[in-house]
Amino acid sequence: MSDAVETPAAKKGITGHVAGWMKGVVGLFLGVGSGVVVMYSNAIVNQVVKPTRPVANFAVTADGLTVTCQNHASGDSGWWDFGDGSSLDPFDAGQQTQAHTYAKVGSYSVKLTVRNFMMEENERAVPVDLTTPPQTLPPTITALNVEPLGGTAVVQAGFRITGDAPNADRLIFDFGNDKPLVVETQSWPFEKFVVFDKPGSQTIRLTGVTGKTAVKREASVEVKPAVAGSVSVVLKVTDSGTSVQKSVTPTTVAIPLPKKGEPRFERAVTATPGWTIVSAEVGKLNAGVVKNVKLQLEADRKSGKLVGDWAASGEALAKAAGNADVMVPLTLNQEKTVFVAVPAATVSAVVTATGTTVALPPQRLGLQNPQRKIELQIARAMPDGTQDVLVTEADLKFPWKGAAVSRPGVGYGFGAALAGNQLQLRVDTRR
C-alpha cells in the first residue's frame, strides 16, 4: 500500500473539475429561469440598487446683501452653505427658492450639497460678489434742537442737544476747536450733552454720513459771561442701570437616525455664552421624517432639549431622510442683561439769595434698576474771568450739608435737598 502524493498539477486538475461541476449546476439553474433573469435584472439594478444620481444645480441672484437661490437640484437630502460662517440650511427638494442675508459686504461662495438615499453626493459652488454696498437712501438731518440746562450766565453752561437724522450711518458732533469731535453710531433720534465754560457765541455743527454722502446742519447758542462775584452751581448727573439686549439666532441641529428603532429623539441645545433662551421657533420640517418637534427649556434657560417623534421607522425612515442626519432648523430668541452707564449731563444755575431750584435731567429711558449719581460744584466768578471753587461733592446724598467756607470779608454755608426731580439748593452768605 503506497501513499499518494498530490502534485500541483493534480491539485489543479481536481480544482478545475470541481469548478466545472459547479459551473454546470449554476448553468442548469440559470437555464431554467433565464427568461426572467434576462428580462428584469437590468431594471432591478438600475432602479433599486442604482437610483438617479443627485445633481446640485441652482442659480443665484443678489439684491443688496440678500441672495436668492433658484433651486433646480435633484436629491433626497442635503444642505446649503453660504460661506459666511452661519449655520447650514437644510436642502428641501420641494422648495423652489432659498434666501440668505449676509451681515456685511464681501465676496462669498454659495455651495449646495445633495445626496440620494444611497448616500451618493454631488455639490456645486457659485461665487457671489457683494463688495458693492447695497443702494441706500441719503442721510438727512430733520431736527437739531439745543436747549440750556439752567442759566447761560454761569461758570459752566450746560446744553441738551436732541434731533433726528434718518438714514445716517453715523453722526459727527463738532462743538468747537477746544473740544474733541464726537462720533456716534447708534439708532436715531439722538440725544447729546455739552458744556461751554467760555462766554460768547458757540456753534454746534452736526454732520450725518452714509457711505460717501454727507449732510450738515448747524445751531448757535450765546453763552453770557458770569457776573463778577456771582455764585454758580454746576451739577453733573450720571445715570446707570441695566438694559436687556435681545438677539434672534438661527441655528441648525443635526439629529442622527435611530439605531435601535427608538420612537423619539432628544438633542441638547445650549444658549450663546452669556445669553439665556426666551423662546424657540422650529422651522420647516420634512413631514415624512420627524414630527411634534419642540424645545423644552431648562429652569435656568441657558440650555434645553430638542425633542420630537420619528414619523417613520426602519428602512422607510432611512429612505425618507436620505440615510443622513436630519437637519432641524431652529431659531433661538435670546436675551441678556448688561450694565449701562449713560454719559453725564451737566446742569448749571446762578445761585440767588433766597435759594435756588435746579431741574435735573429726566431719567433716561430704557434703564432697569436705575441709579443716579450727582456731582456738585459751587464756584464764584472772579473779576478776571476765572472761577473760585467754594465746595465740591463727588456723590451727593440728601439731605446734604456742606462744610462752611470763608473768603476775605465773606463766609458761605451750603445745604441741599431733593424733591422729585428738583434739587433745592441753599447758599447762606455771611459778611
DSSP 272: P
What does the pLDDT read at residue 155? 76
User: Residue 26: helix, strand or coil by DSSP?
Assistant: helix
**Residues 228-279: pLDDT tens digits?**
888 999 999 999 999 888 888 888 888 999 988 889 999 999 999 999 999 9
Please check whether residues 273 and 331 belong to one and the same domain: yes
Domain's final residue, options 190, 225, 260? 225
Domain's final residue, options 194, 225, 256? 225
Strands (E), 298-386: 303-310, 326-341, 345-350, 356-359, 368-381
| Residue 402 is assigned to a structural domain of this protein | no
| Residue 11 is assigned to a structural domain of this protein | no
Please check whether residues 120 and 143 belong to one and the same domain: no
Q: Are 91 and 122 in contact (CB under 8 A)?
A: no
Question: Which domain, by its residues, includes 287?
Answer: 244-339
Q: How far is CA 374 from CA 361, 365, 405, 428, in A?
A: 11, 18, 21, 21
Domain's final residue, options 339, 361, 391? 339
Dist. CA 226–CA 220, nearest whole Å: 19
Please check whether residues 32 and 73 belong to one and the same domain: no
pTM over 0.85: no
**Residues 157-192: pLDDT tens digits?**
889 899 998 888 889 999 998 889 999 876 578 888
Please give the tally of structural domains in the chain.
4
CA torsion angle 210 214 220 225 (round to 10): 80
CATH number (domain holding residue 112): 2.60.40.10
User: Residue 190: helix, strand or coil by DSSP?
Assistant: strand
Dist. CA 294–CA 292, nearest whole Å: 7
319 backbone dihedrals φ, ψ, rounded to 5°: -65, -45
Please check whether residues 249 and 267 belong to one and the same domain: yes
What does the pLDDT read at residue 23? 35
Q: Other CB atoms closer than 10 Å to residue 228's CB: what's the count?
A: 11
Write out residues in the chain with pLDDT < 50, as ranges.
Answer: 1-48
Please check whether residues 111 and 64 belong to one and the same domain: yes
